[in-house]
Amino acid sequence: MLEPLSLLFGLIFLETGWLLRAENKAHLSFSIGWLLFGVYWPSLVPGYLEINDYFNAVFCLLAIPFFLYISLNEIHLYSKRKRVKGMETVAFGSFIATLTYFLIEYITPLASFLKSTSAREASAFARALGVSTAVEGNFVLGAHTTFEIVLACTALQSIMIFVGFIVASQEIKRKRVIAATAMAVVIYLLNIVRNGGIIFLSESGIMDFNTAHNLLGKTASLVAMFLLALFVLSYLPSLYDSFAEFFVTLKPKKLKLVARGGGFALLPLLLSLFVSYISVDVSLILTMLSFLGVLFFRDPERSIGRGIVSPADGEVLYAFDDNGTKRIAIFMSITDVHVNRAPCSGEVLRVDKGRGTHAPAYSKNAEKNVYALIDMGRIKVKQITGIFARRIVTYVRKDEPVKKGERIGLIRFGSRVDLYAEVDGKIMVKKGDKVIAGETTLIECME
């Protein structure tokens, strides 16, 4: 089954993103990590439904759109090359909390100890309230009902969520230690009251177990966690700032997809939502396909640069002056935006398309590949396919005026764009430079 692997690799990608947080590519690692989290949690739904825990079942189902939305925002930040420390803190806090919880879960002796300890404490509290109970392992035996204490009943989840984010905050060590210790103790004590209270209410006949556990217990837990969160955020201002920055960053409609490629991203996502309950394995595969579709077909807005700007995102393969014609080749990797933009304002004189080979886009033989040439007079843009990129979409037509930075085309899943400029000016880039379509100045000249 892929469920444990999706969680494991989700943790690996979140931690990798944290280690690379000073680099732009950290956003891709965070994005994949959140995506895998979104696939894992729905796999717990059947287990919660078996014990009639509809509250947690609903939360786990909501994990798919929630974590996918965070993942999409990370891709948006990657496109913008923007670092948001609040997003990093939340990711690292989630890593610490999840890793600790599941390490304990898979260390059977430790998990058994916590469950049996919680059972004894809950039983003792219920007896103090006047009901007769006994304990066998992690089971509390009442006169009418047997209560099983699972790991979720130990408050370990809540404790690790608080501790994880407190540790990830930027506050001084002393304040973090105080806050983490205080939260662990308070939540632990409140959990004894909660478990013992549910047993008391059920055994005394005041309400049935499902109502006491799923309605009253869950509601009381949420209220308590909310109040404790307010205390922690007031005591640790930097953590408050991180969460504020995180939620401000998660604005609706921040990520735009190209009209002719959005189907590649949206269709697998819709299918994954339908099959998530039936098969998490299939849902994971479909969600990953959706992620790749978003990655390939994202279309962020750009601030237009001066001079002759880059027609594509990517890495400069070469840049030189060939007898007055400046030639610049840009290789687009799978992580780059694949929308091409006009390097200058003008009129399209012709659009030629030619057949050819499918050599690697970064090789010398790529000039013989399938291509589309957009001729704007002194400026020409050549879209070139690669091994996997077989489809060129051109948005402009002959005699059509274009503005600098306007979208002029798309190469699906790749691959390379060459610029030929018969202008006087200075080439501002060199081999190996990273460029952004519409923003990076390739040639400094009079427009």
Catalytic machinery residues? 415
What is the C-alpha R_g of the chain? 28
Element (H or E) spanning 335, and its range? none
Residue 87, helix vs strand vs coil: helix
Beta strand 314-322 with 325-331 is: antiparallel
Q: Beta partners for 409?
A: 340, 394
Q: String of b and e for 229-243 (b: at least 16 CB within 10 Å)?
A: beebbebbebbbbbb
Nearest-CA neighbor of 86 among 248, 326, 302? 248
Tell me the C-alpha distance between 447 and 306, whole Å: 8
Tell me the C-alpha distance between 345 and 396, whole Å: 13
Residue 145, helix vs strand vs coil: coil
Tell me the C-alpha distance between 181 and 179, whole Å: 6
Residue 142, helix vs strand vs coil: strand
Residue 271: CB partners within 8 Å, gap ≥ 6?
A: 286
Residue 46, helix vs strand vs coil: helix
User: Using alpha carbons only, what angle is made at residue 222 by residues 216 and 225, rounded to the nearest 5 degrees?
Assistant: 135
